[in-house]
Amino acid sequence: MVNVTASTALQLRSLVRSNGELEVSLQSVPVPEPAADEVLVRIQATPINPSDLGLLFGAADMSTMKVGGTPSHPVLTARIPDKFMKAMAGRVDQSMPVGNEGAGLVVKAGDSPKAQALMGKMVALIGGEMYAQYRCIKAAACLPLPADATAADGASCFVNPLTALGMVETMKREGHSALVHTAAASNLGQMLNRICLKDGIALVNIVRKAEQEKLLRDMGAKHVVNATSPDFMAELTDALAETGATIAFDAIGGGELAGQILSCMEAAINGKAAEYSRYGSATHKQVYLYGMLDTSPTEIVRNFGMAWGIGGWLLFPFLQKIGPAAGQALRERVAAELKTTFASHYTRTVSLAEALSPEAVAVYGQRSTGAKVLIDPSKGMG
């Protein structure tokens, strides 16, 4: 049994000041007492997902980053360009906890049987505020891990697995039969490949590096296209013609890629067309931007007819749309395939303080494919 002795513990906070300064720091906050239906979890593993970076750094220009404070209580600051401050209006001058998901040990439990049943268990949890030594949360938000799973095994059990499954589910629900994924060698992309291989769904992977191509091909991926190839457009068109993919999930967001995908989809469709259609093909082509690894503007050269759409895609609204029963079915699949289909890999594990070091930010802040950082808030805490 682990005992909680301290009455306060560290929590990472992100603050956007009205003067356009971002400040990320560690705060001492009271360790909460769990209510009847709650448990107190000592967090041991919590990933820095691309989806956390928005709340963590806001729209700050990270090239202006400075780290001050002390080694145990670093304070990271950066400037937010004026043009983005309007989008930040809702969070100005509010110190915000960060961290979508994590895993750890239940060290205290409320009186309810459901909470008590989790006492001493290793659990995965989702609900924000995970970049902290302790997280008090409803017992219902916890997923007990298999006996042989470590906190690191369970740390990324929600966001990436449900996002990958959500893409396949969206593809089916919107009437497509194959899909495209960008930044495809990421942890998420690897999961998506494992899902598609297992389920027999054709997937076109777009990457930017030869080693990423190799990594995916070694996993068994059939369609891998390198966006830096001089023949990228032709190669992508061929892969789209072969698979019939008319929906894409793009993690990059900025630049020309989303438009290029639509353009190649149209070319692949028209390559099979019997008759010219003046407004382009009547087949609806869709790209969902679910991330923004590239925060620069999205530039769309509209040479793909009129039957197209680009839009945002987010896990939580998707889960809301499909309803609790369908969501539960996805969660059960994740639990059943935690160490296979849904395994995650990390580049490095850092303490809360180390997460604010320039070295760590350089790894996860560059939003680069496959460089994933895990925070262990129990690390270096004696």
Nearer residue to a second copy within complex by CB, 220 or 317: 317
Residue 318 sits at φ, ψ, to 5 deg, of -60, -45
Write down the least CB distance from residue 247 to a second copy, Å: 13
Nearer residue to a second copy within complex by CB, 256 or 337: 256
Residue 141 gets which letter from DSSP?
Answer: G
Interacting residues toward a second copy by CB under 8 A:
54-55, 59, 83-84, 86-87, 89-91, 94, 96, 253-254, 259, 263, 266-267, 270-271, 273, 275-280, 282, 289-290, 292, 295, 297-314, 316-317
Write down the least CB distance from residue 296 to a second copy, Å: 9
Write down the least CB distance from residue 88 to a second copy, Å: 9
Nearer residue to a second copy within complex by CB, 204 or 267: 267
Residue 30 sits at φ, ψ, to 5 deg, of -60, 140
CA dist 181 to 17, 134, 253, 324, Å?
36, 35, 12, 26
By C-alpha distance, which of 149, 191, 148, 141 is closest to 166? 191
Write down the least CB distance from residue 144 to a second copy, Å: 28
DSSP 356-376: TSHHHHHHHTTT-TT--EEE-
142-144 and 122-126: which strand pairing?
antiparallel
Residue 108 sits at φ, ψ, to 5 deg, of -155, 145
Nearer residue to a second copy within complex by CB, 154 or 291: 291
Burial class (CB in 10 A: 0-12, 13-18, 19+), 364: buried
Q: Is 330 helix (H, G, I), strand (E, B) or coil?
A: helix
Nearer residue to a second copy within complex by CB, 4 or 233: 233
Write down the least CB distance from residue 347 to a second copy, Å: 24
Specify whether the backbone of 331 is left (phi greater than 0), alpha (psi in -120 to 50) or beta: alpha
Nearer residue to a second copy within complex by CB, 266 or 376: 266
Find out whether 114 and 144 touch, Cβ atoms under 8 Å: no
Write down the least CB distance from residue 303 to a second copy, Å: 4
Nearer residue to a second copy within complex by CB, 308 or 346: 308
Write down the least CB distance from residue 311 to a second copy, Å: 3
Q: Which two tokens stand for residue 152?
A: 């690191």
